[in-house]
Amino acid sequence: MAEEMAATTGALMALWTRVRVEVVITGKVLVVFDPDQGYRDLAAAFEMGGALADELLWVITAWNPGALEREARVNRLSQARMLLKLARAGVGFFPSKGAAEGWEEPGTAFFSPSEERAAALAKCFGQLGYYGFSHTEGFCVDAGGYFPPARLLGSGPEETTT
């Protein structure tokens, strides 16, 4: 059954575009995307996180690989392994959370000019997808490459896209 869940579905991609994504930087919870509020705190995340001009914000989790629910203790261990991997590589990171339709998962956010690290983490931790954010907008990435990246489109008054 795990092999059947190893590919992203259209329904899962659609769900990912409706996920509220939060990042915690210097103790402040920043909403980088909300389907109802748009990109409320995205610019603040880049400023407070000290991102360089060419960097993107990547958000990924190690929880529930292959979209299969696991015990919290196993998920916490995987998440800790991801953080250790980032720390050993000298990558600064921030706690994050994704939530939609009664579900939520903790994750990790980091800045990088390249998608390479996010893609490698997705592969290493069995994740079907992850998020990327520029200074003005976000997108979800199907790690398996079955679907093109999907823009996150909010309907709220704070959405800014240029």
Indicate the pLDDT class of residue 161, thresholds 50, 70 and 90: very low
For the chain, the domains span 10-151
Sign of the dihedral through C-alpha 90, 94, 95, 99: negative
pLDDT at 78 over 90: yes
Q: Is the pLDDT of residue 98 over 70?
A: yes
> What is the rounded CA–CA span in Å between residue 59 and residue 138?
10
Residue 143's pLDDT band, with cuts at 50, 70 and 90, is very high
pLDDT at 152 over 90: yes
Report phi then psi at 79, rounded to 5. Answer: -65, -40
What does the pLDDT look like over 15-51, one tens digit per residue? 999 999 999 999 999 999 999 999 999 999 999 999 9
Share of the chain above pLDDT 90, in %: 80
